[in-house]
Amino acid sequence: MSKEQQDKSEVLQSLRWEKDALSLLDQRLLPEEIVYLRLTSPQDVWAAIRELKVRGAPAIGIAAAYGVVLGVADSIADSQTWEAEVNRHAEYLATSRPTAVNLFWALDRMKARARNLALSGTPAAEAKKALLAEAQLIQAEDEATNRLIGEHALTLFKDGMGILTHCNAGGLATAKYGTALAPFYLALEQGIHLKVFADETRPVLQGARLTAFELQQAGVDVTLICDNMAGHVMSKGWIQAVIVGTDRVAANGDVANKIGTYSVAVLAKAHNIPFYVACPLSTIDLSTPTGADIPIEERHADEVSIGFGKRTAPQGVAVYNPAFDITPNEYVTAIITEKGIIQAPYDINLKNLFNN
């Protein structure tokens, strides 16, 4: 793995395929440093996902797809055994993080492509190129999808509204635009003024380090608050809507997202503020019945106790550090997808989204 420094004024892309390698923005270093890593193996990609160098549900799916491409790049397998290699790399990459379903969705898509290539007897050299094209297609589709999500979401917002978001579901978490942040980029293009409040999002500060950074860079009106200030700004009447991304939506409409999302949803309900969730169809998992069935990642205690580069809690204290929580469907006003905006009853309406 090698590193490349970039000028702060350039438009930031979370990841891109470049010269036979995956060029990936190290999000752990933001906002202080802009460094692109050159990843050349599935092991590099696995570690980048696990260590949050790349994070956000769609972005980790795209990264993992490229990880599969890197896995077979130097393979000398013949077309018979080549598919088994793809599957082995995909299974390995799937162990990097458990909650965001986009990771498994993207890997399944790569496996399905490899299956087709094997069935059609495509020679390994040609199949490798086709697999790269598939990963690039996943990335391009994500960008187009997010723009559509942004268009639908923007119909819910009016000039002058204050909107709160939690974590980072922006361009950095996706191929471009983001999901929850997409309407803010589109509003900017259309001269609609929205005032965004970004929760800092403890413990690893995706809101402060990433959302505040990317919106400020783009010229969106963004104000950073600590997580425990959300109720206060709502009570002042400054927030007319909440919009967040998600790592997985269960078949009944329960939503897994960054830890703290549930508290924001409860606060929104208490203040009669609509709570919107923005996501592509690839984040909706009809095979997971309810939120209780979504695996919640638990991360290292150091993220909580040495969170700001220094020890902020006594050595050895017990720490509980779940990375995500579940917002029950009754708190979700609507789910905004590339196919439009859906509301309760989610069990029926989510199913219909895939049937139509």
**Which residues would be at the binding site for ligand MRU (CB under 6 A)?**
55-58, 100, 167, 169, 173-174, 178-179, 206, 245-247, 257-258, 323
Element at 242 (helix H, strand E): strand 241-244
Of the pair 67, 114, the CB lying nearest ligand MRU is at 67
Question: Shortest distance, CB of residue 244 to ligand MRU, whole angstroms?
Answer: 6
Residue 222 · residue 216 · CB < 8 Å: yes
Partnered with residue 196 across adjacent β-strands are 163, 222
Question: Shortest distance, CB of residue 326 to ligand MRU, whole angstroms?
Answer: 12
Question: Shortest distance, CB of residue 6 to ligand MRU, whole angstroms?
Answer: 21
Element at 340 (helix H, strand E): strand 340-342
Please say if 247 is a catalytic residue.
yes
248 is in an annotated binding site: no
Residue 123 · residue 83 · CB < 8 Å: no
Number of other CB atoms surrounding residue 191 within 10 Å: 7
Nearest to 252 by CA among 347, 337, 331, 343: 347
Query: Which residue reads 């639908």 in tokens?
Result: 152
Of the pair 193, 300, the CB lying nearest ligand MRU is at 300
Number of other CB atoms surrounding residue 190 within 10 Å: 9
50 is in an annotated binding site: no
Query: Which residue reads 């393979």 in tokens?
Result: 75
97 is in an annotated binding site: yes
109 is in an annotated binding site: no
272 is in an annotated binding site: no
Question: Shortest distance, CB of residue 243 to ligand MRU, whole angstroms?
Answer: 11
Of the pair 54, 86, the CB lying nearest ligand MRU is at 54
3-state DSSP percent of the chain in helix, strand and coil, to 5:
45, 15, 40
Q: Which distant-in-sequence residues (6+ apart) come within 8 Å of 7 by Cβ?
A: 34
C-alpha atoms less than 13 angstroms from C-alpha of 354 in its C-beta half-sphere: 14
Q: Which one is catalytic: 44, 142, 199, 247?
A: 247
Of the pair 89, 258, the CB lying nearest ligand MRU is at 258
**Helices vs. strands in the chain: H and E counts, helices first:** 12, 15
Q: Is 44 exposed, middle or buried (0-12, 13-18, 19+ CB in 10 A)?
A: buried
Of the pair 113, 176, the CB lying nearest ligand MRU is at 176
Of the pair 73, 340, the CB lying nearest ligand MRU is at 340
Q: Are strands 255-258 and 334-337 parallel, antiparallel or unpaired?
A: unpaired
Question: Shortest distance, CB of residue 75 to ligand MRU, whole angstroms?
Answer: 30
Q: Are strands 340-342 and 334-337 parallel, antiparallel or unpaired?
A: antiparallel
Residue number closest to ligand MRU, CB atom: 245
DSSP 288: S
Of the pair 84, 140, the CB lying nearest ligand MRU is at 140
Residue 326 · residue 254 · CB < 8 Å: yes
Terminal alpha carbon distance of the chain: 44
315 is in an annotated binding site: no
DSSP 125: H
Positions marked catalytic? 247
Binding residues for substrate, by number, are 55-57, 97, 206, 257-258
Residues making up the binding site? 55-57, 97, 206, 257-258
